[in-house]
A and B are shown apart, each in its own frame.
Chain A
Amino acid sequence: MEEMIHGLPDIATIRKDFPILKQYVHNKPLVYLDNAATTQKPLAVLNAMQEYYQTINSNIHRGVYSISVEATSRYEKARDHIRDFLHARESAEIIFTRGTTEAINLVANSFSGKFIKKGDEILITAMEHHSNIVPWQMACERLGASLKVVPLQSDGRLDMEAFKALLGPKVRIAAFTHVSNVMGIINPLGEMIALAHEKDIPVMIDGAQAVAHIGVDVRALDCDFYCFSGHKIYGPMGIGVLYGKRELLDQMPPWQGGGEMIDQVSFEKTTYNELPYKFEAGTPNVAEVIGLDLALTYLQNIGLDNISRHEHSLMALLRKELSALDGIRFFGDHPGNTSVLSFLVDGIHAYDLGSVLDKFGIAVRTGHHCAQPLMGILGIQGTIRVSLGLYNTKEEIISFVEALQKAISIFK
């Protein structure tokens, strides 16, 4: 039995918390290695969401009756928990969205509409996920602004000299990812944010691939916006978080209009609610918020440091095993990366290997990973991506490599 760390639950015990890990695929045990796409949920999260619907489900922020008061309290306590999780100053700076994509769209619409005009620039990087490219493209089109892209070095890391040079006088906002969803590279946020702030450029960080692996302190980073998705941190789909500095959020106009985000409504004029509600129109996903709250608690009980250590040791094993095979090409792999690894096998298409790996019960992602521009820069159509989570084991890594060898023998 494998121990994660002295005194904490061993991996077999942890895996029991995740019912889906008992599934069989093509008569083989499921080996789930696609955690960058989405993570599996512990029973604590599933039970909490079910329990919510069975005990206190009601619309929040409005009822005077007991279960509505209770549901409202749970919802707002979850917000406080996330504030603490990100080390933000106040809960009013924590806005619930449907996910990272919606959070970026919110800022791209609301911030851009107010602060960006024709001839201005928006800065992103070449390693971004489509969700951190397209909303900015759309904003540029709407406003007559232009999109600037920080190039990469040949090893996949950002070209920092080019980054500095692109922080010009016309840039109104810079948006980049904390961790690459394709390569696992961690960008040097502290340095990048400091450089941007020297030029009075606010920064938005896409934290989707970071929060389940690295501790995030938005005040230490001093980022202006930070966002992540619940479903990538062992919480449910359909919930995400946007953190924004109050000074900026207060100035930004609302994005979606409707109930909850209003103060007074008449046909002549409507006034808006204060933060965070100004940006939370409509009935929220209360069950999902509670699910996310429980997911964070689950993680914190195990300890993010312990999870990180576990994932790093699995990655070292994965790298060692793959490097022993012929014709393996890694993309942007560095020892400091998070637990994401993209590779190809010379002469065999990723789709072919991925299809066969499925027959062995292995779930990995193949293709462009919603980063077509990055694929273009790397000169390839797609990769095979392995991305680990807290419940993966050494045995699973070995099973994966063995299955890969068998798959390779079919095509070579």
Chain B
Amino acid sequence: MNTIAEKAAQLERDFTVFDDWMDRYNYLIEIGKTIPQLDEKYKTDAYLIKGCQSRVWLYANLEEGLIHYTADSDAVITRGIAGLLIRVLSGNTPQEILDADLQFIERIGLQEHLSPTRSNGLVSMIKQMKLFALAYQTKLNGAANKENKHV
């Protein structure tokens, strides 16, 4: 199993092959097409990420101690960004996700999607993915840690 850092490094290598922003965007769009299909029943307001100019739905489930994300968006670039994050974070433990360093986003030239304007969903997506991880981590810790029970 690859660590998050290894997956991020691989993604960074994949992107830096492209000099041209258009090629990078095309690659991002391709990544977006590879996201595991989000079940229709999760395309509701409850799973909608706030702070996006485009709509993004995100769901996470825990299987044998590892989190798997699925997502969808009505904007193709946003779906690509979700795909990037899923490629790096999915299949890891909640704690690994909580500790993840996501600096690679800036290094592959997508930093404008990190700006604190209402339009960008990247920051909200990362926050939501980490919240899911926190919730599952808390669940795993069990009733023993009563003060960790609230999320």
Chain A residues close to B by CB (< 8 Å):
26, 348-352, 355-356, 358-359, 366-367, 381-382, 410-411
Partner of B26, one of A26, A350, A366, A410: A410
Instruction: Give A356 to B25 CA distance when docked, in angstroms.
Output: 9
Interface size on B, residues (CB 8 A): 16
8 A-B pairs whose Cβ atoms sit less than 8 Å apart in the complex = A348-B76, A350-B53, A352-B77, A355-B77, A366-B53, A367-B53, A367-B118, A382-B53
CA distance A352 to B32 in the complex (A): 13
CA distance A325 to B21 in the complex (A): 24
The answer, yes or no, to whether B43 is at the interface (CB within 8 Å) is: no
Q: A352-B77, A366-B53, A410-B25 are in contact. List 4 more A-B contacts (CB 8 A).
A: A26-B21, A349-B74, A359-B25, A410-B22
CA distance A360 to B29 in the complex (A): 18
Q: With A351-B75, A351-B119, A411-B76 in contact, do A381 and B26 touch (Cβ < 8 Å)?
A: no
A182, chain B: closest CB distance, angstroms: 15
| Contact among B25, B29, B78, B112 for A351, CB-based, below 8 A | B78
Q: Give residues of chain B (65-95) contacting chain A, Cβ–Cβ below 8 Å.
A: 74-78
Whole-angstrom CA separation of A367 from B53 in the bound complex: 6
B21 near A351 with CB under 8 A, answer no
The interface residues of chain B lying within 8 Å CB-to-CB of A352 are 54, 75-78
Instruction: Give A130 to B128 CA distance when docked, in angstroms.
Output: 27
Measured CB to CB, the nearest residue on chain A to B24 is: A359
Residues of A within 8 A of B21 (CB): 26, 359
Q: From the candidates B25, B76, B118, name the one contacting A349 in the complex (CB within 8 A).
A: B76
Collect the chain A residues with CB atoms within 8 Å of residue B112's CB.
355, 358
Contact A367 B75 (CB under 8 A): no
A-facing mask of B99-127, CB < 8 A → 1, else 0? 00000000000001000001100000000
Of the candidates A348, A351, A411, the one whose C-beta lies within 8 Å of that of B53 is: A351
